[in-house]
């Protein structure tokens, strides 16, 4: 019978030589991305890399992140209300030390990968054991982990995990992951636009008309470095106005990312008269196009329909470069659905290390999530749905 074990690494220099062979199918678990986290993680984040072994052979890799919310400048400034104030107080006092098994910076099932078939009983046990080992690690440093969260899982994986070591942990569903599965018949933007119903074809034309005067181009590493402060300013404006944050990127994050990942990481700059007024970023992950962080100048956002034009540009890049899917992530669900993305429910599992508080988790957690009301749009002709 096979014996499974794990080892937790605090540096990418410690990783086994065959790490990337195991992580081959997910760029978010490969060493060049992990080095980005290591070199430019948010100031309140510490990352751990978990090697999973079967009879001393590396068969799986996983990521864990510790967040100290006491170091956070803001939880998000968009929603100012009593519920938000109460939520912020709760996080500061009862949940400021958070351990994630997975990647809290992106949306999708990117927390672990195996190079061979693994049963969910073993996966659930190993993730549990790794979490407990990290809790002990921080305990030795006089840091008490308050919250442990396992994220994100697609519904079929969550259902399997619940049969085993996750059965007694509170399962939660936050905003869905907006995923656009691209039609194989689409070869260019013309095919994409032709598939729209009249209402959404008119929306596309209106947005493109508004974008006149904008110059959009990919930024080289040298340009990313020279525009670093402005890129961060644009990102930070969008991030701090989100309904909820647990981190802010480091100021050098985008240049480090480009340095480590090269052509697999793309940053597109939006210019008016040589002034950078916005950017979006993409990560090429095999057949999947992952949208990453973006930013824009609020003064131009409405007049130029910047955000919507960014979504169209990301989509057209995905079509023209023959990706199968585009992962648009959470937030701005309605406008993302208007360009073709559809909601995919994802689950997480969460528990509080205080047993009394943990008993109340099913009542506490729903009241900490920002209320979400949105209408899914269906932009394509009937035959495309």
Q: What is the pLDDT of residue 46?
A: 97
Q: How do residues 105-122 score in pLDDT, each as one tens digit? A: 999 999 999 999 999 999
- 3 state DSSP class of 278: strand
Sign of CA dihedral 167, 168, 173, 174: negative
What digits encode the pLDDT tens for the residues 262-310?
999 999 999 999 999 999 999 999 999 999 999 999 999 999 999 999 9
Statement: residue 70 has pLDDT above 90:
no
Instruction: Output the pLDDT for position 1.
Output: 53
Closest to 149 in 3D by CA, of 164, 163, 135: 135
| Lowest mean pLDDT across 12-16, 165-169, 364-368 | 364-368
Please give the average per-residue pLDDT across 147-171, as a whole number.
95
What local confidence, expressed as pLDDT, does residue 76 receive? 45
- The DSSP H or E segment spanning 346 is strand 346-352
34: enclosing H helix or E strand: helix 31-40
Interior CA angle at 104 toward 99 and 106, to 5°? 165
Count Cα neighbours of 77 within 13 Å in the Cβ-side half-sphere.
Answer: 9
Q: What is the mean pLDDT of the chain?
A: 92
The percent of residues above 90 in pLDDT, for the chain, comes to: 84
pLDDT at position 75, please?
Answer: 45
Q: What is the pLDDT of residue 95?
A: 76
């Amino acid at each position: 019978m096979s014996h499974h074990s794990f080892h937790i690494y605090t540096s990418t220099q410690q990783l086994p030589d065959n790490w990337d062979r195991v992580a081959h199918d997910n760029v978010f678990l490969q060493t060049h991305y992990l080095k980005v986290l290591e070199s430019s993680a948010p100031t309140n984040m510490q990352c751990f890399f978990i090697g999973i072994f079967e009879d001393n052979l590396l068969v799986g890799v996983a990521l864990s992140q510790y967040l100290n919310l006491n170091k956070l400048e803001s939880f998000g400034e968009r929603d100012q209300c009593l519920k938000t104030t109460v939520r912020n107080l709760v996080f500061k006092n009862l949940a400021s030390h958070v351990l994630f098994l997975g990647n809290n910076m992106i949306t999708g099932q990117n927390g672990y990968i195996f190079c061979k078939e693994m049963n969910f009983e073993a996966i659930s046990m190993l993730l549990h054991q790794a979490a407990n080992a990290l809790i002990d690690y921080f305990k030795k440093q006089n840091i008490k982990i308050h919250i442990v969260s396992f994220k994100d899982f697609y519904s079929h994986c969550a259902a399997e995990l619940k049969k085993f070591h996750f059965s007694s942990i509170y399962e939660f569903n936050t905003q869905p992951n907006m995923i656009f599965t691209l039609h194989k018949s689409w070869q260019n933007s013309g095919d994409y636009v032709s598939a729209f119903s009249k209402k959404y074809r008119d929306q596309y034309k209106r947005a493109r008309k508004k974008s006149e005067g904008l110059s959009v181009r990919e930024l080289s590493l040298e340009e990313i470095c020279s525009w670093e402060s402005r890129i961060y300013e644009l990102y930070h404006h969008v991030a701090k106005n989100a309904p909820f944050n647990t981190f802010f990127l480091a100021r050098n994050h985008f240049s480090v990312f480009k340095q480590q990942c090269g052509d697999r990481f793309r940053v597109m700059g939006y210019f008016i008269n040589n002034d950078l007024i916005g950017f979006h970023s993409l990560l090429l992950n095999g057949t999947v196009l992952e949208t990453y962080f973006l930013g824009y100048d609020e003064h131009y956002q409405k007049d130029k329909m910047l955000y919507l034009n960014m979504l169209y540009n990301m989509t057209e890049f995905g079509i023209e470069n023959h990706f199968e899917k585009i992962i648009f992530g959470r937030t701005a669900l309605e406008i993302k659905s208007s360009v073709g993305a559809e909601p995919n429910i994802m689950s997480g599992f969460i528990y509080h290390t205080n047993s009394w508080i943990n008993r109340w988790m099913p009542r506490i957690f729903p009241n900490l999530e920002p209320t979400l009301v949105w209408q899914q749009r269906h932009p394509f002709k009937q035959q495309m749905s």
